[in-house]
Amino acid sequence: MVGKLDEKARTLALASLPDWTPAGDPDGIRRRFTFADFNEAFGFMTRVALLAEKADHHPEWSNVYNRVDILLTTHDAGGLSRRDIDMAAAIDALLKH
């Protein structure tokens, strides 16, 4: 079982993820992704889904045409945990190649 990040770890982790914004309710981080069209957006979602299954850590998300909104929070911990930070970094890495 993974725990919520304490204040110091949280600040440090957020500094390493400049494209993600703290979200209040539920406690987590969010990022909006915009693509050329639905096909690109859904392809991205497919790759995130594979990551999520592998990590057993699943996003709260929505998609409207070319836009994907992702919120990462850890249900088991009731807030932001290391698992969210790792998942955010892995999602960011998908876009670098």
Residue 30 binds ligand H2B (CB under 6 A): no
Q: How far is the CB of 76 from ligand H2B (least distance, A)?
A: 3
Residue 58 binds ligand H2B (CB under 6 A): yes
Residue 89 binds ligand H2B (CB under 6 A): no
- Report how many helices (DSSP H) and strands (DSSP E) the chain contains, helices first: 3, 4
Half-sphere exposure of 40 (CA within 13 A, CB side): 9
Q: Among 30, 35, 44, 74, indicate the residue that binds ligand H2B (CB under 6 A).
A: 74
Q: Among 19, 37, 53, 76, indicate the residue that binds ligand H2B (CB under 6 A).
A: 76
Residue 50 binds ligand H2B (CB under 6 A): no
**Residue 13 contacts by C-beta under 8 Å, 6 or more apart in sequence?**
5, 80, 82, 85
**β-pairing verdict for 21-23 and 67-72:** unpaired
| Count of residues engaged in binding ligand H2B, rule: CB under 6 A | 7
| Neighbour count for residue 62 (Cβ, 10 Å) | 10
Task: Give me the residues that bind ligand H2B (CB under 6 A), please.
Answer: 56-58, 73-76
